[in-house]
Structure 1
Amino acid sequence: MDIMQSVKTVLGNYANFNGRSSRAEFWWWALAYFVAYVGIYFVGGVVGVGEMLAGLLALGLLVPNIAVSVRRFHDIGKSGWWCLIFIIPLVGLIAMIFFFTKPSEGPNQFGEGPMAPVA
């Protein structure tokens, strides 16, 4: 999976909290989101509206960010409610990075793996 395919997949599943997302999909999406956020912040900063545009981007992509995070937790066999661990300062961020870097564990209660062979 490359960055464009990941962005298309995440935006295509805008509010889909079912299923699973691979590590590649999640991390390519995170990179694309970060680059877009920083780019809009700086380009908008030249005009004087960088913070507002970056805030609108963050607000507009809040649902897909949560959805891909939930699907990533599903991929490692955990409930999407584990996303709430992010509320805990610092410890939550470290825990989420740890969970998001774990490899897929094969078929689980949330379905086949995201990279399952197509028949």
Structure 2
Amino acid sequence: MQWYLGVLKNYVGFQGRASRKEYWMFILFNAIISFIFEILDRIAHISPLLSTLYSLAVLLPSLAVSFRRLHDTGRTAWWLFIGLIPLIGAIILLVFTCQDSQPHDNQYGPSPKI
């Protein structure tokens, strides 16, 4: 949970690097919370109000951690646009976010693994 809260606290931190663990723990907790809100929306018989509000609330932190994760692998944040290509783009982004960090300092900052 500390990784999730850490990303939320650094919601406008588009500079620097994010480790694989930070990124994937955020994604995991984000998916769990989204699932819970989706269930609550269905139980309450309302349109997806809670899940939509939650998605909007975490949009900026999600982008920020994605930028930092790409920076950690030595790529610019412009690579996020490849996700707009159906299927292939999502697979490429998945591969990029699963790759290990660059072991040394890069142009985006020091390695988060230290």
Q: TM-score range by the shorter chain?
A: over 0.9
Deviation of 1:50 after TM superposition, in Å, equals 5.6
Greater Cα shift, 49-58 or 4-13 = 49-58
Structure 1 partner of 2:81: 84
- Provide the residue aligned with 1:99 in structure 2: 96
Matches within 5 A, 1:65-84: 65-84=62-81
1:1-119 correspondence to structure 2 within 5 Å:
4-49=1-46, 51-106=48-103, 107-116=105-114
- The answer on whether the counterparts of 1:19 and 1:74 sit within 8 Å (CA) in structure 2 is yes
Deviations 1:49-84 (A, max 9, x none): 261211111111111111000000000000011111
TM-score, with normalisation over the residues of structure 1? Answer: 0.91
Output one character per residue of 1:7-50: Cα deviation in whole Å (capped at 9) or x when no partner. 12101111110000000000000000000001111022101126
Runs of 4+ residues deviating >6 angstroms: none
Q: Counterparts of 1:49 and 1:94 in 2: how far apart (Å)?
A: 33
Structure 1: gaps of 5 or more residues? none
Per-residue deviation, 1:5: 1.6
Q: Which runs of 5+ in 2 are unaligned?
A: none
Alignment RMSD (CA, Å): 1.0
TM-score, normalised via structure 2 length: 0.95
Percent of aligned positions that are identical: 36
Distance 1:70 1:84, change over 3 A: same
